[in-house]
Amino acid sequence: MIDIKNLCKDFGNTRVLKNITETIHKGEKVVIIGPSGSGKSTFLRCLNLMETPTSGDIVFEGSNITKASDREINLLRQRMGMVFQHFNLFPHLTIRKNITLAPVKLKLMTQQEADDKAEELLKIVGLPEKADEYPARLSGGQKQRIAIARALAMKPEVMLFDEPTSALDPEMVGEVLELMKKLADDGMTMIVVTHEMGFAREVASRVMFMSDGEILEQNEPGEFFSNPQNKRLKDFLSKVL
Amino acid sequence: MDELIASFRQNFIEQDRWKYLTNGLKTTLIITFFAVLIGFVLGFIVAVIRSTHDKTGKLKIANLICKIYLTVIRGTPMVVQLLITYFVIFGSVNIDKIFVAVMAFGINSGAYVAEIVRSGIMSIDNGQLEAGRSLGLNYRQTMFYIIMPQALKTVLPALANECIVLLKETSVAGYIAVQDLTKGGDIIRSQTYSAFMPLITVAVIYLMMVMILSNLVSRLERRLAKNDRH
Note the pLDDT tens digit of each residue in B48-88.
999 999 988 889 999 999 999 999 999 999 999 999 999 99
**Higher pLDDT, residue B222 or A215:** A215
At B220 the pLDDT is 85
From chain A, pick out residues whose CB is under 8 angstroms from the CB of B138.
70-71, 74
Report the C-alpha gap between B54 and B137 in whole angstroms: 19
User: Looking at residues A10-16, what average pLDDT do you find?
Assistant: 92
For residue B230, the model assigns a pLDDT of 47
Q: Report the alpha-carbon distance of residue A97 to residue B30 in Å, rounded.
A: 39
Residue % of chain A over a pLDDT of 90: 94
Arithmetic mean of pLDDT, A212-225? 93
Domains of chain B: 2-229 (1.10.3720.10)
pLDDT in tens, A123-164: 999 999 999 999 999 999 999 999 999 999 999 999 999 999
Distances (CA, A) of A20 to A7, A133, B106, B177, B185: 5, 43, 55, 72, 77
Does the pLDDT at position A28 exceed 60? yes
Alpha helices in A94-195 (DSSP H): 95-105, 111-124, 140-152, 170-185
A150 touches chain B (CB under 8 A): yes
Chain B interface includes A230 (CB < 8 A): no
The residue in chain A having the minimum alpha-carbon distance to the alpha carbon of residue B147 is A90
What does the pLDDT read at residue B227?
A: 64
What pLDDT, on the 0 to 100 scale, is given for residue B228?
A: 62
Average pLDDT of A56-70? 91
- Whether the pTM exceeds 0.90: the reply is no
pLDDT tier at A241 (50, 70, 90 boundaries)?
confident
Question: How many angstroms separate the CA of residue A87 from the nearest CA in chain B?
Answer: 8
What is the average pLDDT score of chain A? 93
Predicted local confidence at residue B107, as pLDDT: 97
Q: Is B55 on the interface with A (CB under 8 A)?
A: no
CA distance A35 to A209: 9
Q: What beta strand segments (E) does chain A contain?
A: 2-11, 14-24, 29-33, 55-60, 63-64, 80-83, 158-162, 189-193, 206-211, 214-219
pLDDT higher for B220 or A46? A46
pLDDT less than 70: residues of chain B: 227-230
CB A125 within 8 A of CB A148: yes
Query: Between chains, do A74 and B137 touch, taking CB under 8 Å as contact?
Result: yes
